[in-house]
Chains A and B, each alone.
Chain A
Amino acid sequence: MKRSLLGFARLVTRSEVRTLVRDRRAFFLAVLLPMLAFPLGMGGMEWLESSSAASLSESDVVAAYDLSALPDALAASIVAELGADELRLTLEPIELPHPSAADDAATRSAARATLTGERRLVLLADATAERPRVVLYFDGAETLGNEGARRVGAALTSLIDAARAVEITARVGVDPAAAFALDVRDVAPPENSFGHRLGKLLPLVLVLMMISAGSFAALGAFAGEREEGTIETLLVQPVPALALALGKLLTVLATVVVAAVGNALSFAAVTAFGMGASADAALSSGWSASTGIWVGRLALALVAFAPTAVLLSAALSLVSARARSFREGQHYILPLVLIGTLLAAPATQDRVSLSYLLALLPVTGPTLALRDTLAGSIAVGPLVVAVLSSLAWSFAALRGLAATLDAERLFRTRATGAELGARGVQSRTAIGFGILSVAMILLVGGRLQSMDLIGGLVVTLWGLVPLLAWLSARGTARRAGEGVRETLGLRRPRGLHLVGALCIAPALAMLVAALLRWQTAHFPMPTDAGGLVELQRQLEALPVWALVLLVGISPGITEELLFRGALLSGMRRDLSPVKVVLWQALLFAAAHGSVHRALPTALLGALFALVTLRTRSLFPAVVLHAVYNSIVVLELQDAAWLTSYGHAGPVGLGVLGVVCLGARARAD
């Protein structure tokens, strides 16, 4: 019985799907999670908000007041306004020392001392200023304090507005009714606003769900088969390896499609029939008004997205096939998730529209097309380009498919003996430790810095990061039978290399600034609340030298010890330089936890890794990193600082620096 390539592939798919269906984890990741993500996420959030809002609005808030500094009539009207039943405020008159200025420290502490027991608010009148004012003291860390402040604020604002209207009428002789009001109306058809809302949220979650479901199938089909020792049996069957790989790819694709369809439909259902829509009742009418149009759009959007499903499946398969085990494969999926998030992120931004340029990018083009199709605002040209380019991308990825089950590669390492296998351990451990370090820096370091910025930074940079570096380097050194200093790359550098590092720093700062400008113009990423600007705002109390020391030089030393010292020396033992540089870029970008700065930090990570590989010493990268960071700090102090020297200087220095860094490393 002769079978075609597809005939064999179908047999493989049937067997793989059968295996998957019997695995509860696969069912969870491919079906349950994508379908429940939106209902649970949106419903849960809404329930939390509504239940806490309900209990809050029902609770009484005790407010003390001393308005004796105000004219009696005004004080009486304020008390009357605040005494309204629906505000649920219990008012207590008290006496406080009259302030000279209401925000004087003494008054503040007196007010704070008054906030005891059930008392959440203190209102204190101050007549010393040009206009009489009422100062409201509350404890911002308390839920009831915030709630009370909100109620008082709303009540008094309307009182102030009313007073103003009366005042204006009296002074100018204008009827307040003649003033105009601004009314903002959205005239988009309900199905379009519904689609727009859907389109902004859906693509990113969709891509993540497709990756999480597909990765499980891909790991099982490729890495799992190697781990369980069934791959050899499969490869000795009279079937072309391409047919086997194709069958496995189809399994991954099926999983990805199931996850995508389940995710999209559950989101549509949630938005249309309830939870998500209650915040905006117009949306549910958006669904019911034109269900037909809308189902058509969803179908068109999913069809436009189909090549991307193939691309993701192929990428997951290629990556999983590199892994010797399920676990190792999971390490490789993380970068894929990061790349997927990065590429899908622009679709969440209103400012980004589907241009021909963006349509050429994988994932980005289709996610934008998906968004605009749902909103009914898609232009045909970019849509066609996005579909065609994603077809081309997936075709390119499929070309690698035959190599996934290449026996020569699969059986190479084991056959060449224990030594090469043992050497693979160094890079695998380094990468695993790198991922762990990034997680620690983001979680522990981030937590510390949110509690106390400066202290947290100091502890992270001089405690956590060096500790991680030492732990990683110690393990690598022990396995390699060398000293920790040697592993960290603390070799005496050539003077020329240090000069080179110093010289390229200004040009690097300019390059990164230009890169960020380009990114903002052509490929905007969500900006994050954190980042250097926020950091600088909070640190502005510090003198410049302390800033340079803390944010400039410290990371230059300790981050280099971890990334280019401990991790790089583990990786470079059995990875090609290209892979080392790519991993360094990825980990360094991830450690900074900023989508907005992902591109520049990845570039910096790659460059520092290159410098270290070339000079075979850690010191040039330390110098480069510290000087670069310090320039950025100084630029934040005075934006024109660097550019005031013109472009020629930094560029010239940069060229000189590259030449210096190109010099051969010191011999062993």
Chain B
Amino acid sequence: MNLTNNSENGAAVRASGLCKTYRGPTGEDFEAVRGLEFEATYGEIHGLLGPNGAGKTTTLRMLASILAPTAGTAIVAGADVVREPLEVRRRIGFLSASTGLYARLTGREILTYFGELHGIPREALRARIEELIDAFELARFVDQRTEGLSSGQRQRVSIARAVLHDPPVLILDEPTTGLDILATSDMIDFVASRRSAGRCVLLSTHVLSEAERLCDRIGVIHHGRMLADGTLDELRAETGREFLDEVFRELVARAEPPSA
């Protein structure tokens, strides 16, 4: 990956006018995302904060080029999600709370499979997998089928899978949902380690403490719109509130006057 090149123009992720409208099976439209604008840079953890159904998952899926935007576009790691979706996918790692593993394959087989789909040459792939086994302490269970693993062990395999090709941008959709305390703190350490390696991490969450502790910048999303985007201090200054939950409530109140 040509990281330096991408770093030069600053933004790792730049979304402009991103919209997504779903059509239901009986014909009615549902606007999940309505004109989202924001930027994230390398060496930064950028959070998307919002309640369930705010449009976070849809936004991240559009940025990962899984879903096509109805309008607008985004540049992710230098590639356009609408025009070069495969290039975007080569440059991102993606992990969500609902990510599963193939139950009847071993961790090593899963890593090899996805490495090959990424087109990593055989020898390089073997070396990279060994590296990841060391980094995430997978050695004890990497040759067992994943159906027998604990949720924490599975999560470590999933993380290794997401960073197999060392992507400059990592997209995490509610990565700590459903994890226990230990696994959550592992995940937080891992996210922080990506920042120190100069990568960009984009993560969605509805856990305020997580956003407060981890994110360099936070975008607040509600009903498919970005209500505010900035560092925690900037958000505090903008709303005049101290704690993030108050900040969030203030922003929602402004967006929806009580009369509405």
Decide if B57 touches A574 in the complex (CB within 8 Å).
no
In the bound complex, do residue A417 and residue B53 qualify as a contact, i.e. CB atoms below 8 Å apart? Answer: yes
Chain B residue nearest to A10 in the complex (CB): B116
Give chain B residues whose Cβ lies under 8 Å from the Cβ of A23.
Answer: 104
CB B161 to nearest CB in A, in angstroms, measures 7
**Cα A228 to Cα B104 with chains together (Å):** 12
Contacts beyond the supplied A15-B113, A236-B66, A238-B118: 5 A-B pairs with Cβ under 8 Å: A232-B61, A233-B99, A411-B66, A415-B32, A424-B25
Q: Which of B57, B66, B105 contacts A15 (CB 8 A)?
A: B105
By a beta-carbon cutoff of 8 Å, the part of chain B in contact with chain A is 22-26, 30, 32, 53, 57-58, 61, 64-68, 86-87, 89-90, 92, 94, 96, 98-105, 109, 113-114, 116-121, 145, 161
Separation of A239 and B101 alpha carbons in the complex (Å): 18
Point out the residues of chain B lying under 8 angstroms from A15, CB to CB: 102, 105, 109, 113
Is A235 an interface residue when CB atoms closer than 8 A count as contact? Answer: yes
Instruction: Report A576-593 residues with CB < 8 Å from chain B CB.
Output: 576
The interface of chain A, by Cβ under 8 A from chain B, is: 1-3, 8, 11, 15, 18-19, 22-23, 228-230, 232-233, 235-240, 407-408, 411-413, 415-417, 420, 424, 574-576
Q: Are A236 and B100 in contact (CB under 8 A)?
A: no
Give CA–CA (A237, B90) in the complex, Å.
7
Name the distance in Å between B110's Cβ and chain A's nearest Cβ. Answer: 9
Q: Measured between alpha carbons, how far is A238 from B90 in the docked complex, in Å?
A: 5
CA distance A23 to B89 in the complex (A): 31
A407 CB contact (under 8 Å) in B24, B66, B92, B117: B66
Bound-complex Cα distance A22 to B146 (A): 13
Using Cβ atoms and an 8 Å threshold, which residues of chain A touch B145?
22
User: How long is the Cα–Cα vector from A232 to B93 in the complex, in angstroms?
Assistant: 12
- Cα A1 to Cα B57 in complex, Å, equals 31
Sort A-B residue pairs by CB-CB distance and give the 6 closest, nearest first.
A229-B100, A228-B100, A238-B89, A238-B90, A236-B94, A22-B104
Q: Considering the chains assembled together, what is the distance between the CA atoms of A18 and B114 in angstroms?
A: 15
B122 to chain A, nearest CB (A): 9
Q: Which residues of B contact A19 (CB under 8 A)?
A: 102, 104-105
Q: Which residue of the partner chain B has the closest CB to A234?
A: B117
State whether B98 touches A229 (Cβ < 8 A). yes
Determine the residue in chain B with the shortest Cβ distance to A413.
Answer: B25
* Known A232-B98, A232-B99, A238-B90: A1·B25 in contact at CB below 8 Å: no
If A230-B102, A232-B94 touch, does A237 touch B67 (CB 8 Å cutoff)? no
Q: Are A239 and B25 in contact (CB under 8 A)?
A: no
The distance in angstroms between the C-alpha atoms of A121 and B249, with both chains bound, is 94
A-B contact pairs, 10 of them (CB 8 A): A1-B119, A2-B119, A23-B104, A232-B61, A233-B94, A236-B92, A237-B118, A407-B61, A407-B66, A574-B25
A2 to B119 alpha-carbon distance, docked (Å): 7
A230 to B32, CA, bound (A): 23
Closest Cβ of chain A to B7, distance in Å, is 21
Decide yes or no: A238 and B102 within 8 Å by CB, A232-B94, A415-B58 being known contacts: no
Tell me if A416 and B22 are in contact (CB < 8 A).
yes
Q: Is the CB of A18 within 8 A of B105?
A: yes
